Amino acid sequence: MRRFVPPLLMVLALSLPAVALAGREVAPWYIQQLARVEVFNRTAGYTLPVHVHENRLYVVGEPGHQYEVRLANRTGERLLAVTSVDGVNVINGKTADERQSGYVLDAGDRVNIEGWRKSLDEVATFYFTKPSKSYAARTGRPENVGVIGVAVFRERRPCCRAVPFEERDRISPQSSAEPADESLARRRQDLGTGHGHREASRAEYVDFQRASHVPDETIVIHYDSRKNLLARGVIQDSRRYAERDHPNPFPAGMFVPDPDL
């Protein structure tokens, strides 16, 4: 059973991972402290390898393949994971904001987010598709297609005072800007996340009070086609090796050749 909390108070604790919001420092997968986030290709049946490039995380998506976001709570306390895909909150469908609803994970819990939440009983599955056919683009918000984010919050303890929203550190618009080369690459984005078929996914409301309105950890995973990530230098082209069915371990001749005269 999954659980979630509405804005500021209640969180849906579903089997879901979360991704961070743009503008905050990204925690690379090898130093994530509170939560572990993975992207699982449901069609092919394997976890997508993470590529680290210039301190950003990337995975390769396949058009038409369904996927889910998997999150693991690595702590001994409850956590709230506010999760977004393409800049859209996966629970309420609104433009993502850290103050919105998220999923609550019990201590050591693992959850899978299979899609956009339609009710406490169903989700519409995630799948890779053309940016123009993504849910974000179809609802008039194509600007952030190609990114999964999770903002992770600790739970407030009885002895601790909640920090008012007005006291939070605000992020200026300039701080979320990407380098020029990344902005150009984003305009060539090949993949977005579609609004797929509905399937059963139970959830319930639970109480959760955040220790702070500023996330304790944010995790961002970018995704795109293999072609685009090759062009950006995120991954290396290994096809010239894979396409050789019968490589020769001793390709040279049998004897020592004469030197050039």
Structure tokens that stand for 239 in this block: 């096809």
Weakest-pLDDT range from 1-5, 104-108, 160-164, 249-253: 160-164
Q: Which carries the bigger pLDDT value, residue 223 or residue 6?
A: 223
Q: Which residues of 200-237 are buried (b: 16+ CB within 10 A; e: fewer)?
A: ebebebbebbbbbbbbbbbbbbbbbbeebbbebebbee
Largest CA distance in the chain: 87
Give me the residues paired with residue 133 across strands.
none
CB atoms within 10 A of CB 180: 8
Does pLDDT of 15 surpass 60?
no
> What integer pLDDT is reported at residue 96 of this predicted model?
95
pLDDT per residue over 116-149, tens digit each?
999 999 999 999 999 999 999 999 999 999 999 9
